[in-house]
Amino acid sequence: MSLVYLVLQDNDNARYLVDGITHDNPHAVVQHQPAMIRIEAEGRLEIRRDTMEERLGRAWDVQEMLLDVITIGGNVDEDDDAFVLEWKN
């Protein structure tokens, strides 16, 4: 299975994102590098709106992740409830 990945700027928003992502994707691996955080996972990785809203205690739009993301690898599928990265094979 191929790795999908997501790299975030190392800032306060990222802490919530990393927390939410590791909760929903137990197979994800988090690496801290200078100024950035890389999260990779086999096959699939998702960021869920409900998980983020629970952590932040407010309404959270999936597109807010665009503020902090540095790069991604994988096919993107985005709707109101989740941002999904996936390799289809």
Partner 1 sequence: MTANKKKLGLKDKYRYLTRDLDWEPSYQDKKDIFPHEDFEGIKITDWDKWEDPFRLTMDSYWKYQAEKEKKLYAILDAFAQNNGQQTISDARYVNALKLFLGGISPCEYQAFQGFARVGRQFSGAGARVACQMQAIDELRHVQTQVHAMSHYNKHFNGLHDFAHMHDRVWFLSVPKSFFDDARTAGPFEFLTAISFSFEYVLTNLLFVPFMSGAAYNGDMATVTFGFSAQSDEARHMTLGLEVIKFMLEQHEDNVPIIQGWIDKWFWRGNRLLSLVGMMMDYMLPNKVMSWAEAWEVYFEEAGGALFKDLERYGIRPPKYVEQCPIAKQHVSHQAWATFYQYSQATNFHTWMPSDEEMDWLSAKYPETFDQYYRERFTFWREQQEKGERFYNNTLPQLCQVCQIPTIFTEPDDATQLSHRSHVHEGERYHFCSDGCCDIFKNQPEKYVQAWLPVHQIYQGNCGGSDVESVVRDYYNINIGEDNFEYLGSPEHQRWLEWKGLNPAVAPLPKAS
Which residue, among 49, 50, 41, 51, has the nearest Cα to 72 in the 3D structure?
A: 41
Can residue 58 be called a binding residue for partner 1 (CB under 8 A)? no
* Inter-helix orientation angle 49-56/12-24, to 10°: 130
What is the per-residue binding string for partner 1 in 26-45, x denoting contact by CB under 8 A? -------xxxx---------
47 touches 11 (CB < 8 A): no
Can residue 12 be called a binding residue for partner 1 (CB under 8 A)? no
* Residues at the site binding partner 1, with contacts judged by CB under 8 A: 2-5, 7, 9, 33-36, 61, 63-64, 66-76, 78-80, 87-89
